[in-house]
Amino acid sequence: MSVLEVKGIGKSFGSLEVLKNIEFSVRKGECVALIGSSGSGKTTLLRCLNFLETPNSGTITVNGETLFDAADTATHSETERRKNRLHFGLVFQSFNLFPQYTVLKNVTLASELLAKERPDYKQNKKQIFAEIEEHAKATLAKMGLSDKLENYPHQLSGGQQQRVAIARALALSPDILCFDEPTSALDPELTGEVLRVIKELAEADTTMIIVTHEMQFARDVADTVLFMDGGVILERGTPEEVFGNPKEERTRHFLDRYFSG
């Protein structure tokens, strides 16, 4: 069974139809790359999956549970949206770290806030927070940031800030980790360190959806590539199929800009 099933997702802003009948699935441990020109709907799709936007049509199912159904208003409430977001971890292109908190606090904050809703919170607060901190430190160690725990975001390079953002998303153990152009805000020399981390996550069978303009990276890391154009998934397949032998003329034209010559 797929971890994620997306069926018939549509999204409009006023008269502008941004997503049109989007359908795809993601298996556990699969890495899906979303590629396409700016304005093709990639980021809007990612925001719909993370319940930052409400689709006008369609359903979103995770692990067999329907989290969103456009026809069922009970799934549209803010309470449901907050709960459903926990299935996804989202890494923004602009990091979105809290500047007033240390690296460690940025990673533990969400878990600490969620812990307050646990029935045993008052009795076991010290132990719960210690476990959260231990998990956060282990996650930051995987990002190569053990020596930056007490630093603040302004004391880090862009690549380090993005790795903190990845650690923060992983700290809540999401079913699906999503990236929205994770290297677009980085200087070219810092891009490689972030891409290496994402590649290591892919090799560890982390379930991921990556919106990216790094075509060679998508070709090397993704299990499945979805090419979006005009709000639809125009082409899908393995990297070998999409990059090596695209069926659609629009896909070929898009990829020629990256791989010609």
pLDDT tens-digit profile of 136-146? Answer: 999 999 999 99
Q: Side chain identity at 33, as an amino acid letter? A: A
Confidence of residue 261 (pLDDT cuts 50, 70, 90): very low
* pLDDT computed for residue 101 by the predictor: 97
What whole-number percentage of the chain has pLDDT above 70?
A: 99
CA atoms of 106 and 96, how far apart (whole Å): 10
CA atoms of 130 and 135, how far apart (whole Å): 9
Q: Are residues 175 and 63 in contact, defined by beta-carbon separation less than 8 angstroms?
A: yes
The two counts, helices (H) then strands (E), for the chain are 9, 10
What whole-number percentage of the chain has pLDDT above 90?
A: 87
Residue 53 has pLDDT above 50, yes or no: yes
Question: Treating both helix axes as pointing N-terminal to C-terminal, what angle do 158-171 and 103-115 enclose, rounded to 10 degrees?
Answer: 20
Strand intervals (E) in 48-134 = 57-62, 65-69, 88-91
Over residues 16-29, the mean pLDDT reads 97
CA atoms of 224 and 238, how far apart (whole Å): 5
Compute how many other C-beta atoms are within 10 angstroms of the C-beta atom of residue 221: 21
Residue 122 has pLDDT above 50, yes or no: yes
Phi-psi sector, 60: left (phi>0), alpha (psi -120 to 50), beta = beta
CA atoms of 186 and 179, how far apart (whole Å): 14
Residue 189 has pLDDT above 90, yes or no: no
Residue 259 has pLDDT above 80, yes or no: no
Question: For the ranges 9-13, 151-155, 211-215, which has the lowest average pLDDT?
Answer: 211-215
> What are the pLDDT digits (tens) for 99-116?
999 999 999 999 999 999
* pLDDT computed for residue 218 by the predictor: 94
Over residues 57-81, the mean pLDDT reads 95
* pLDDT computed for residue 184 by the predictor: 86
* pLDDT computed for residue 260 by the predictor: 63
Question: Chain centroid to CA 168: how far?
Answer: 12
Question: Treating both helix axes as pointing N-terminal to C-terminal, what angle do 121-142 and 158-171 enclose, rounded to 10 degrees?
Answer: 140
Burial 171-188 (b: 16+ CB within 10 A, else e): bbebebbbbbbbbeebee
* 222 closest CA partner among 211, 235, 233: 211
